[in-house]
Amino acid sequence: MPNKLTIALTAPGMMGAGIGARLTAHGCRVIVPLADRSLASRERAAQAGMEGADWGDLGRADMILSVVSPEHAEATAERVAAANPGSRAIYVDLNAITPARAERIAAVTGSAGLRFSDGGIIGPPPREGGREPVLYLSGPAAVEAAGLRAYGLRTEALRGGVGEASALKLSYAGITKGLAALGATMMLAASRAGVEEQLLAELNLSQSHLAQGFARSVPDMLPKSGRWVSEMHEIADFIGPDMPEEGIYRAIAQLYERLFDAHRADGDEAEILRDLTGR
C-alpha cells in the first residue's frame, strides 16, 4: 500500500470533487477551503469525503491541486502562495491555461517555496465505470506529481518544462470543443434556412462519424458552455494575436456565452439543438 497522503484541492467544483472522491477512496486525506463556498459546493465536498480547511492549511499538504476556472488560476495561486510562505508542498496547476500563464504561476508559487508542476486534464471527472481522465504533467515536479497514479488517478509525466502540459490541454480542447461549436453553429444556420433535416440526413449518410459525435457533444456542451467561455479565450491567447485563426476562438467564446444563456432560459437555440440531436 502506498503511504497515505494529504492532498489539498483549491475548489470543490465538479472536476475537483471527482478527483477528491477518487483520492479519498484510495486512502488520501483531502482538504479544501470552504469558508466562502456555496451550500452546493459544501455538500459536494462532503459527498466526496473532503474536509474543510483554511487557505493557510493548504501548505501543510503533500500536494496542492489547483482546479478552477482559467480566469481564476493566477489569483488562486497568489492566494495560496501568500497564505503558505515557506511551504515545500508540490503545487500542481491543472487548469486550462496558456503556457505563459503557467510560467507566471510557477514564478508566483516558487517565490513562496512551493515546488511546481504544470498540468492539464483531458477527460471528464473520474467516476467508477466511466471514461477516466488523464492528468498530463510537465515541469520540475511532474514526476513526483505523477505519483498520484498510486491513488487511483491516471497520470502521464511529459518530458518538457512548464507550459508543455498546458499547451497539450489547450490544443486538444481547441479541437474537441471547437468541433462541438462548429456542429452547433451549422445546425442553427441550417435551421434558420429550413434545411436542418436534410443536413442531418446527409451527415448520417456521408459523415456518420461526425453525426454520431455531434449527437453526443452538442447537447452535452449546452450545460457546460458557460464554463468554456474563458477556456476559449485562453485558446485564442495560446494561438496568438498575430494569427488570424485566433479570432475563431474569440467568436466561439461569444457563441458559448449565448448558448449558455439559451440553455438556462430554455431558449429557442438550445431547444433546436436538443431536438436535432434527439436529446
pLDDT score recorded for residue 130: 78
The C-alpha cell of 258 is what?
Answer: 449565448
Q: What is the CATH number of the domain that holds 263?
A: 1.10.1040.10
Other C-beta atoms lying within 10 Å of the C-beta of residue 79: 16
- Pick from 139, 161, 183: which residue ends a domain? 161
pLDDT score recorded for residue 145: 98
DSSP assigned state of 271? H
| Domain limits for position 241 | 167-276
The C-alpha cell of 250 is what?
Answer: 474569440
pLDDT score recorded for residue 127: 87
Examine residue 95 and state whether it is found in any structural domain, yes or no. yes
For residues 32 and 50, state if they share a domain.
yes
Interacting residues of 7 by C-beta distance below 8 A, sequence separation 6+: 20, 23, 28, 29, 30, 31, 61, 62, 63, 64, 65, 148, 151
Examine residue 62 and state whether it is found in any structural domain, yes or no. yes
- H or E element, residue 198: helix 196-206
For residues 38 and 82, state if they share a domain.
yes
Examine residue 1 and state whether it is found in any structural domain, yes or no. no
Partners of 18 in the beta sheet?
none
- How far is residue 142's CA from residue 155's CA, in Å, rounded to a whole number? 10
Least Cα distance to 70 among 234, 221, 249, 223 occurs for 234
Question: Exposed, middle or buried by CB within 10 Å (0-12, 13-18, 19+), for 106?
Answer: buried
Examine residue 124 and state whether it is found in any structural domain, yes or no. yes
DSSP string, 11-47: --SHHHHHHHHHHHHTT-EEEEE-TT--HHHHHHHHH
The C-alpha cell of 89 is what?
Answer: 508542498
> What digits encode the pLDDT tens for the residues 13-61?
999 999 999 999 999 999 999 998 999 999 999 999 999 999 999 999 9
pLDDT score recorded for residue 1: 52
pTM: 0.95
- Residue ranges in the chain modelled with pLDDT below 70: 1
- H or E element, residue 76: helix 73-83
Tell me, rounded to whole angstroms, the distance of Cα 143 from its chain centroid: 21
The C-alpha cell of 19 is what?
Answer: 478527483
pLDDT score recorded for residue 3: 79
Q: What is the CATH number of the domain that holds 52?
A: 3.40.50.720
Examine residue 249 and state whether it is found in any structural domain, yes or no. yes
Pairing, β 6-9 against β 29-33 = parallel
| Domain count of the fold of the chain | 2
Pairing, β 134-138 against β 115-122 = antiparallel
- How far is residue 100's CA from residue 88's CA, in Å, rounded to a whole number? 23
List strand residue ranges (DSSP E) for the chain, in order: 6-9, 29-33, 51-53, 63-66, 90-93, 115-122, 134-138, 154-157
